[in-house]
Amino acid sequence: MTGSEQHARTDPGATAGIKPGRPLVAITGPDRGGWLAWLFTALAVRRAGGRSIHIRPAHPCHHCRFDALIVGGGADVDPSLYGDLEGPELSEIQAAERRWSQRLFGYAFYPILWLLRRMFQSHGGTLDKARDRLEKALINRAIDEHRPVLGICRGMQLINVVLGGTLNRNLDGFYMEIPQSRSLLPVKHITLKPGTRLSRIFDRDDLWVNALHDQAVNTLGKGLRVAACEATGVIQAIEAAQDWCIGVQWHPEYLPQKETQQRLFRSLVRAAAQGMEEERT
């Protein structure tokens, strides 16, 4: 059996062709910033055979019908949503020092990568409660209607929180011996859990990914399982045990040159197309 045949038999939705009425994928984002993330994600969906609609707090499209949902990256999830009411783990002085040290490091050694990161990354660090409310409602709706859901970085974290999980707000402790990588380039090595949907989609047991996050999943939400980790123990991907619901800590939309990363969007669109076909019958 070839790798593609095995993938088609093990990944639900992989054998469903894209119908003439292409699946409509709702892609979320902030009102300010994040426009390049939207363009790259919409491009990935188009390449996979779908079409996109941009949903944000100023344009919520409450009654829009969609066939799949992508919850994009951006601002930190409001800690009160998962019961963390203690405030920031870093003092304002520590946070300022860390920001300046990161900037100086970027200016001195990686000016081009630093500039690209600033251009491509949505505005993070501050809370966006209006976006939290909107995306919570969309995630719940998609899960209730059995629509495929993909969470990217913040999106993965919010899916976990919506399903009752918690987050690590500060990852410094995980990187005391292994420096935390922050790059649009695939510089971080992760291991995929055998038998997961994600491992079947990628058809491999490890992967190199990019990294732009400061937080990560701590305790898992209801019905979720770990799909990938890095050597430090930081969870890099989660997925639902039943429906097509996957969260990844990295940004696959920023790796359009990697055919492997495009498989994630193709699987999402195929699962959406399969859902459309089931509704017709």
Q: What is the pLDDT of residues 150-184, one digit of tens each?
A: 999 999 999 999 999 999 887 655 554 445 566 78
Q: What is the pLDDT of residue 171?
A: 64
236 in Cβ contact with 222 (< 8 Å): no
- In the predicted model, is pLDDT for residue 88 greater than 90? no
pLDDT band at 62 (very low <50, low <70, confident <90, very high): confident
Determine the topology of domain 3-83+119-271 in CATH: Rossmann fold (3.40.50)
Rounded Cα distance, 110 and 128, in Å: 29
Q: What torsion, rounded to 10 degrees, do the Cα atoms 156, 267, 42, 24 define?
A: -100
Residue indicated by tokens 């919409």: 42
**Least confident span in 64-78, 95-109, 128-142:** 95-109
Q: b/e map of 39-55 (b: 16 or more CB within 10 Å)?
A: ebbbebbeebbbebbbb
Q: Which three-class secondary structure string do you get for 173-208?
A: HHHCCCCCCCEEEEEEEEEECCCCHHHHHHCCCEEE
Rounded Cα distance, 237 and 103, in Å: 28
205 in Cβ contact with 199 (< 8 Å): yes
Q: Average the pLDDT over 71-100 and give the result.
A: 66
Task: Give the bridge partners for 211, in sequence order.
Answer: 183
pTM above 0.85, yes or no: no
Q: What is the tens place of the pLDDT at every residue in 17-45?
A: 444 589 999 999 999 888 889 999 999 99
Residue-range domain boundaries for the chain:
3-83+119-271
Q: Average the pLDDT over 219-240 and give the result.
A: 96
Which residues lie closer than 8 Å to 136 by C-beta, 6 or more apart? 81, 158, 162
